[in-house]
Structure 1
């Protein structure tokens, strides 16, 4: 029986690929350092768009088998990051991707028609209790999920935030569902974030290089979408540039959702490892530990 790592990180994400986009480099870095990394994915991404020619038949309005395909993509992405503990909330197929549409203001909202089994319709206590079981088993010191808007308004991201927040609270209650194990109070909770300063610098580099299509419509000096966070809200910055290639490999594994000539790779190719190898966080619970010269923690486990 392998020894339980002293530091344990739990991430709660909505769909396969969200984890690699948001915290792929951090995950790879912590695995390499011998820390425990557990990923809980809430849906299989059944309603995602399909970017691979020839696989359109997987779509929800055709064979409706995209979820199973993305399950394989997630396996490949986690292999690239070295993560061996990844699960679906309540088990694969318990909750379905809710889908989304774009609001005229530029953020995501719930689709006009939502499947009966959609995660957006999940009973909050039931879904959170599935997470309680994982929390009490893994006993993480750090939890990472989305902010209350899910970054850009996707209903599944918002629901993942709610489930993670409520699940963490319930897991700490000694008298709640004793059958799921001994209570565990997660010391630190973070919300993934994108630095405004870093995003503007990246956009400026792209525009200076003549690239006007990557993140089309975004002006380095203009308004930015809601997933970009003012730097004064940031609490931690994990420099995992040495694991930039692992993150890029994980992104490439999500072939139906992310293309190697898309914005993530364009920004990476133009700006270098700083584009996606440095990941930012807002603290939602707990006390910050030691910080660097910029006032940010460099390790999510700082102070523990």
Structure 2
């Protein structure tokens, strides 16, 4: 399959994220667009979100059942967004940085190799908000692509962050979530156990908040080259913070 080019993103696309709900927060419009193009994404999460009890009183009350419930919430959100398949590595939530990184790279590579993506979308090196799980999955995803762990996986795309913008990195794609807001809102609402946290960022989900209106993506690696298209390309690792 030749795949479809979409401003720095070539299909098929895999998302490698830390927790259930990351996809709805940060890549819902992208997933919907890919589904509309007939090239639905696949999603691999590092954890089951089982430490997300601060998301609501409901989440806190679920105890050991939270991971199982969040897996189902993710399945519901994925169906809304048109994600073709969801997988889980099952690492403890909040402790991904303590896991054996080489093992995590190998396990992710095995899962991805069976889905044959051309582009991997993950967090930027700073994790976007500094979350240790986000930073850890960024390292894992970056290694997967740079070290050519998956045949045919040649493009690395980072989810936008203030750090990337400050560094002057060239944005490859910006998607207006207002155009798909009903789907994004429904996907966010599907993460019922996290509704208090979601409300903190997105309000009552009646409309796209201006601060979160655009989903932004940066092409960090392509065919062995870091920051392709940049006037002064540097190493992806230049932006890593530990």
For normalisation by structure 1, the TM-score amounts to 0.63
- 5 Å matches for 1:1-304? 7-58=11-62, 63-89=63-89, 93=90, 95-98=91-94, 118-170=95-147, 172=148, 184-194=151-161, 229-230=165-166, 232-233=168-169, 234-239=171-176, 241-259=178-196, 261-265=199-203, 269=207, 271=209, 275-276=212-213, 278-286=214-222
Contact 2:181 2:207 in 1 (8 A): no
Contact 1:267 1:275 in 2 (8 A): no
SS in 2 for 1:237: strand
Distance 2:129 2:208 in 1: 24
CA gap 1:132/1:55 in 2 versus in 1, 3 angstroms: closer
CA gap 1:267/1:76 in 2 versus in 1, 3 angstroms: closer
Which has a greater percent of strand? 2
Contact 1:143 1:186 in 2 (8 A): yes
CA gap 1:5/1:87 in 2 versus in 1, 3 angstroms: farther
Distance 2:187 2:13 in 1: 18
User: How far does the alpha carbon of each residue in 1:152-208 deviate from its partner, in whole angstroms, 9 at most, with x for none?
Assistant: 1111111100111112234x26xxxxxxxxx514232111015xxxxxxxxxxxxxx
Shift in Å, 1:22: 0.7
SS in 2 for 1:138: coil
In the alignment, structure 1 segments of 5+ residues that lack a partner are 99-117, 174-182, 195-225, 291-304
In the alignment, structure 2 segments of 5+ residues that lack a partner are 5-10, 230-242
Which has a greater percent of helix? 2
User: How far does the alpha carbon of each residue in 1:229-274 deviate from its partner, in whole angstroms, 9 at most, with x for none?
Assistant: 34932332234543221111111111111346432135863757x9
CA gap 1:271/1:52 in 2 versus in 1, 3 angstroms: closer
Contact 1:188 1:285 in 2 (8 A): yes
Distance 2:29 2:78 in 1: 11
Q: Over alpha carbons, which structure has the higher Rg?
A: 1
* Matched pairs, number: 218
Q: Pairwise CA RMSD of aligned residues?
A: 2.9
Shift in Å, 1:50: 4.2
